[in-house]
Amino acid sequence: MKLRLLLLVLLFTSAAKSGDLRKLKFLFRPDFSKKSIQASVLQTWQFAQADTFSLFLGEGLRLDSIRHPTGFTWKQTGRKIACSVNSAGRYNIQLHYSGKPAAAKNPPWDGGLVWRKDPSGEDWLGVSCQGQGAHIWWPAPPDHLQEADTVEFTSIYPSNLFFKGNGRMTNDWKTSDVRTTTWQTTYPINLYNITVNIADYAHYDEKLQRADGSVLEISYYPLRVNLDKAKKQFQQTIPMLKCFENAFGNYPCSRDGFSVVETAYAGMEHQGAIGYGNGYKDGYGGADYSGVGILFDFIL
Neighbours of 17 (CB within 10 A): 16
pLDDT on residue 22 = 96
Q: Which helix (H) or strand (E) holds 240?
A: helix 237-248
| CA dist list (Å): 228 to 163, 231, 232, 294, 299 | 20, 5, 7, 22, 19
pLDDT on residue 106 = 92
pLDDT on residue 13 = 46
Q: Is 225 exposed, middle or buried (0-12, 13-18, 19+ CB in 10 A)?
A: middle
Give 257-270 as a DSSP string. Answer: -EEEEE-SSSEE--
Gap between the Cα atoms of 55 and 62, Å rounded:
13
Gap between the Cα atoms of 130 and 11, Å rounded:
23
pLDDT on residue 11 = 44
Q: What is the pLDDT tens value at each position of the chain, 300 positions in all?
A: 555 555 444 444 444 456 899 999 999 999 999 999 999 999 999 999 999 999 999 999 999 999 999 999 999 999 999 999 999 999 999 999 999 999 999 999 989 999 999 999 999 999 999 888 999 999 999 877 789 999 999 999 999 999 999 999 999 999 999 999 999 999 999 999 999 999 999 999 999 999 899 999 999 999 999 999 999 999 999 999 999 999 999 999 999 999 999 999 999 999 999 999 999 999 999 999 888 889 999 999
pLDDT on residue 292 = 86
pLDDT on residue 5 = 52
Gap between the Cα atoms of 164 and 183, Å rounded:
8
